[in-house]
Structure 1
């Protein structure tokens, strides 16, 4: 009997991917992201660099990489970010070196970003990016979800709804669009997308050696 291919006892080498989840506030993005991180092996949250002050309970390197504004500006100048943006007075950026090294090693990264950040990442890392947009089943249901939180004033909710309509208008900039009318069903669909994208031929870098081995392996005698 011929010797097994060395990779047969473990998954073939694979290039990682950048899995982006976007949605209007209240459409379920955070819930889906937490389930992926808690239940799926090989995927971790992308850790951004930020100028925002550290909040109680946050940990450097786990939640964010916290830097001051001059340091962040220098990183922008040196081209160290795949994408960056200023949000509510604070800057956030995705570190290029960390992501590229992880992708090469087969690590998948989960991104919770808006359509603008998605565009920037896709322009720079096109073949490594998978874009998923979550839609609510209706605008009225989205507003109901926001109000049921009981944390925002009518003014804040109105602003979130206006922002939601704007974000929804960019649905066609994504590879996949999933309607979240049921959280369990939505999660299953998102997980199916992730698993299918992991299996794409272009990402399975170990296939070249494996198929060469298959073609050269001698047949067993009859």
Structure 2
């Protein structure tokens, strides 16, 4: 299953919450070329790759999906997803709208796509600023890109409004289980 949202929409928090309740749910750790943020851990939050190594992986077909977002590459290692699926395990992926579309195209009905929607623009911007990890320039870029991503929300199988984490988590469990 694929969760997407605008930056600051709450998908990472919801993924942590659902995995705490359902530890058998495998999380697909993505690769990225962005710099680590405070608290990031190699192999846990992301696999941090150089631009050259990532582009080599693209050429070799090592990604189920990949995209360039906010001037950095992001991608899902195909080997991990294939191993989980072969073992009958469900996989949850934290992807942008481009990645979700690629996974849906490649996996078809096996991929459930869910868009996490902030309750309104004011709350969304408050969440972005509240993280305290991005510059003003980065926040403005994320808002601009997020508005473009919002235009694709109706392409997803499900939309969850993240008005409260408890409500959003409950809705996510209804969809997944």
Aligned-pair CA distance for 1:56:
7.4
Alignment of 1:19-168 (within 5 A): 19-52=1-34, 59-150=41-132, 152=134, 154-168=136-150
Distance 1:182 1:55, change over 3 A: closer
Distance 1:70 1:139, change over 3 A: closer
Q: Distance in 1 between matches of 2:74 and 2:68?
A: 6
TM-score (norm: length of structure 1)? 0.68
State the Cα deviation string for residues 122-146 of structure 1 (Å, max 9, x = none).
1111122111111122222222333
Distance 1:154 1:53, change over 3 A: closer
Larger Rg: 1
Q: Distance in 2 between matches of 1:60 and 1:143?
A: 28
Q: Say which SS state the counterpart of residue 111 (structure 1) adopts.
A: strand
Q: How many residue pairs were aligned?
A: 177
Q: Retained in 1: the 8 A contact 2:26–2:84?
A: no
Q: Distance in 2 between matches of 1:194 and 1:81?
A: 24
Aligned-pair CA distance for 1:55:
6.8
Aligned-pair CA distance for 1:103:
0.6
Aligned-pair CA distance for 1:52:
4.9
Alignment of 1:211-222 (within 5 A): none
Distance 1:171 1:46, change over 3 A: same
Q: Residue in 2 aligned with 1:194?
A: 176
Q: Retained in 1: the 8 A contact 2:125–2:143?
A: yes
Distance 1:47 1:184, change over 3 A: same
Distance 1:158 1:107, change over 3 A: same
State the Cα deviation string for residues 87-142 of structure 1 (Å, max 9, x = none).
45543322222211211211222211110011111111112211111112222222
TM-score (norm: length of structure 2)? 0.83
Aligned-pair CA distance for 1:60:
4.5
Q: Distance in 2 between matches of 1:125 and 1:79?
A: 15
